[in-house]
């Protein structure tokens, strides 16, 4: 007899601190039969799963089998078809540069029930934990979040970097460590003032959180001097020059 299909729950784990996992996300973990997890999720929360639950590490670790997105989609479907409640445990929010919607579509196409529990995105939490508000009366009335996995002049970038340079509000760049110099130079070449405040926040929400502040002209050099490594995000705009005392 074919088992009753289970379901897939896409859970946003927040930026890494287990205290920033939502109550709903924690509850889903506690009910899961199978958890497929990434490394940017709060891994200590995996201790909350029920006895006998299967944990599958699909995170990217150099030198080990890398699960492709297609393989992850197939695993979600396979476990749910076998009747399991499957949690896909991801860092931040599943739908912010997180490929959660691709996983949703794969489940839906396979006829598997799927739902999402939003998470606290690093795009908001990272700056905030560094004392940088994304908006502040008189400084910024909005924010733009973009992927920096390729630089502004790369053919694979679909970001309108001219518009980003001219937006007049806060710019948050995720996945931009490798191309930080090209991104900052590209924004200045497109009209952003080179003395615009900028900050990099690495390993936000962890005991190793590191914050570097400078300008769009100086930040790449500061980051290179320290050897900043992912995960890290960059905040560009007047708010990056604001320091909230005591935070």
Ligand X SMILES: C[S@@+](CC[C@H](N)C(=O)[O-])C[C@H]1O[C@@H](n2cnc3c(N)ncnc32)[C@H](O)[C@@H]1O
**CB-based burial of residue 182 (10 Å sphere; 0-12 exposed, 13-18 middle, 19+ buried)?**
middle
The verdict on 211 binding ligand X (CB under 6 A) reads no
Ranges within 116-135 binding ligand X (CB under 6 A):
121-123, 126
Span interacting with ligand X, options 25-33, 95-103, 130-138, 219-227, rule CB under 6 A? 95-103
CA distances from 177 to 112, 123, 217 (A): 36, 14, 15
Q: Is 15 in the site for ligand X (CB under 6 A)?
A: yes
Would you state the structure tokens that stand for residue 32, as one six-digit string? 């899961």
Residue least distant from ligand X (Cβ): 92
| Active-site annotation, residues | 38, 60
Which range binds ligand X by CB under 6 A, 67-75, 76-84, 152-160, 202-210?
202-210
Residue from 55, 74, 97, 182 that binds ligand X (CB under 6 A)? 97
Q: Do 211 and 126 form a contact (C-beta atoms < 8 A)?
A: no
- Residue choice 11, 72, 117, 201 for contact with ligand X (CB under 6 A): 201
Segment contacting ligand X by CB under 6 A, of 75-83, 92-100, 187-195, 219-227? 92-100
- Is 175 one of the binding residues for ligand X (CB under 6 A)? yes
Calculate the alpha carbon distances from 170 to 64, 80, 152, 164 in Å: 37, 41, 17, 9
Q: Is 233 in the site for ligand X (CB under 6 A)?
A: yes
The CB-of-102 to ligand X minimum distance in angstroms stands at: 12
Contacts with ligand X by CB under 6 A: the residue count is: 24
Binding site for ligand X (CB under 6 A): 15-16, 40, 91-93, 96-98, 121-123, 126, 174-175, 201-205, 230-233
């Amino acid at each position: 007899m074919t088992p009753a299909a289970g379901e897939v729950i896409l859970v946003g784990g927040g930026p890494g601190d287990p205290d920033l996992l939502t109550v709903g996300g924690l509850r889903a973990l506690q009910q899961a039969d199978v958890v497929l997890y990434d490394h940017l999720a709060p891994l200590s929360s995996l201790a909350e799963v029920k006895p006998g639950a299967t944990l599958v590490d699909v995170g990217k670790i150099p030198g080990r089998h890398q699960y492709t997105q297609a393989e992850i989609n197939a695993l979600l479907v396979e476990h749910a078809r076998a009747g399991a409640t499957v949690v896909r445990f991801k860092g931040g929010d599943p739908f912010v540069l997180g490929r959660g919607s691709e996983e949703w579509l794969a489940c839906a196409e396979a006829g598997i029930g799927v739902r999402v529990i939003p998470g606290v995105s690093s795009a908001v939490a990272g700056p905030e934990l560094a004392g940088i508000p994304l908006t502040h009366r008189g400084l910024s009335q909005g924010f733009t979040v973009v992927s920096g996995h390729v630089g502004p002049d790369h053919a694979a970038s679909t970001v309108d970097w001219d518009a980003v340079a001219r937006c007049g509000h806060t710019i948050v760049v995720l996945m931009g460590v490798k191309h930080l110099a090209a991104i900052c130079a590209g924004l200045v070449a497109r009209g952003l003032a080179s003395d615009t405040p900028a900050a990099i926040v690495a390993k936000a929400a962890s005991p190793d959180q590191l914050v570097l502040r400078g300008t769009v002209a100086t930040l790449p050099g500061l980051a290179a001097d320290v050897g900043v490594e992912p995960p890290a995000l960059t905040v560009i705009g007047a708010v990056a020059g604001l320091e909230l005392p005591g935070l």
